[in-house]
Amino acid sequence: MYRSGEFRLGSVHPHQQVGHSVRNLRPLLKSILPGPVRVFEGATGLAVNMRPQLGAQVNAELSNPQPIVIETERLILRRLTMADLDALAALYRDPEVRRYFPDGTQTYEQTREELEWIIDVYYGQYGYGLWATIFKETGAFVGRCGLLPWEIGGRTEVEVAFLLDKSYWGRGLATEAARAIVEYAFATLPIERLICMFEPENSASRSVAAKVGMTMLWDDYVDKYGLSHVYAIQRPVSHAGSAERP
């Protein structure tokens, strides 16, 4: 499971309300810079994000299918594109799917902003993020699962995140995806551990975390969204030389 606080660059949440200075600058920046402009206020100043015209990008994505990142017995995980917006928005407006998200359901435009952030920041700066999760038997878009960076206590943590359409719950698919993500992360990233964060009441996410080998790290982690349980798994000895260490 993942939380609304994922969409952060460092310690700044891009969905938080920005100051008057940013709001006043946005019209000026839009008037002098080509294409759509997004402006964020960060800890060290302002961040400007320029994107190509959406229509051209979607057409390019439709004609250039994304390569597979992870494949399991029943699932394919690939990079999300703007062409996935409708399917992702359908998941994000479902109150059952979003039950344990502090900010609840999302509108279409909120989902668009989140998807743009995944593509621009996570893929662009980290090389990983949330991936479209496809049910191989039918080709259906059934969720988004992947890896998310967090800054906790001065340390970069990487979270295993998973969210599936409720019609696919109870089949072991979240565990199948999470197990493969753990294997992929330790094989490709210079990290010593992976974490999973969820609200104490979220027994389904706790079960998935335990099934992939995670154990309780903290039962008292509190951020502005409230109390979370944090589970973790250490890098296996078999992966000790799989990725370059920092």
Q: Which of 173, 172, 216, 166 is nearest to 193 (CA)?
A: 216
Say yes or no to pLDDT of 23 above 90: no
Domain 56-239 in CATH 3.40.630.30: yes
Integer CA distances (angstroms), 67 to 70, 80, 92, in order: 9, 10, 24
Residues in the chain: 246
- pTM value is 0.74
Q: Which of 153, 234, 161 is nearest to 193 (CA)?
A: 234
pLDDT tens, position by position, 153-185: 899 999 999 999 999 999 999 999 999 999 999
Share of the chain above pLDDT 90, in %: 65
Integer CA distances (angstroms), 201 to 51, 228, 229, in order: 39, 9, 9
Domain positions in the chain: 56-239
